[in-house]
């Protein structure tokens, strides 16, 4: 069995959480996207709940997940039919999702 470092585990959580937040922000009414949000969140939660994280690690996770979500939103915003001028609105929703996830899972 391969063991990951704590940082690698946080990076994995951040990737799942960032993807979930981006989908939740961009497509809150789309049932397929919401299934992906649920799947990504579940994967993130499974890793997150397996350890106790200190504040420095939680800060790293927030920043890394936020960067992933923002990157995903930038990459998909036009493809999903939204104007780039609305980027910050979607980013704010994603950030709220990430903060809520970490707060609820602590």
pLDDT in tens, 39-67: 999 999 999 999 999 999 999 999 999 99
Per-residue CA distances from 52 to 19, 26, 49, 92, 102 (Å) = 23, 31, 7, 27, 12
Burial of 85 (C-beta count, 10 Å sphere; 0-12/13-18/19+): exposed
Q: What is the pLDDT along the chain (106 residues), one digit of tens a residue?
A: 467 799 999 999 999 999 999 999 999 999 999 999 999 999 999 999 999 999 999 999 999 999 999 999 999 999 999 999 999 999 999 999 999 999 997 7
Chain centroid to CA 7: how far?
Answer: 16
Per-residue CA distances from 78 to 16, 73, 82, 83 (Å) = 22, 9, 5, 6
């Amino acid at each position: 069995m391969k063991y990951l470092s704590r940082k690698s585990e946080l990076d994995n959580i951040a990737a799942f959480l960032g993807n979930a937040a981006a989908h939740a922000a961009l497509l809150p009414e789309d049932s397929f996207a919401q299934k992906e949000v649920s799947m990504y969140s579940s994967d993130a939660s499974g890793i997150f709940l397996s350890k106790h994280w200190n504040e420095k690690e939680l800060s790293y996770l927030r920043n890394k997940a936020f960067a992933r979500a923002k990157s995903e939103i930038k990459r998909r915003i036009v493809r999903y039919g939204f104007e780039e001028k609305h980027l910050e609105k979607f980013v704010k929703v994603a950030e709220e999702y990430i903060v809520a996830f970490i707060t609820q899972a602590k």
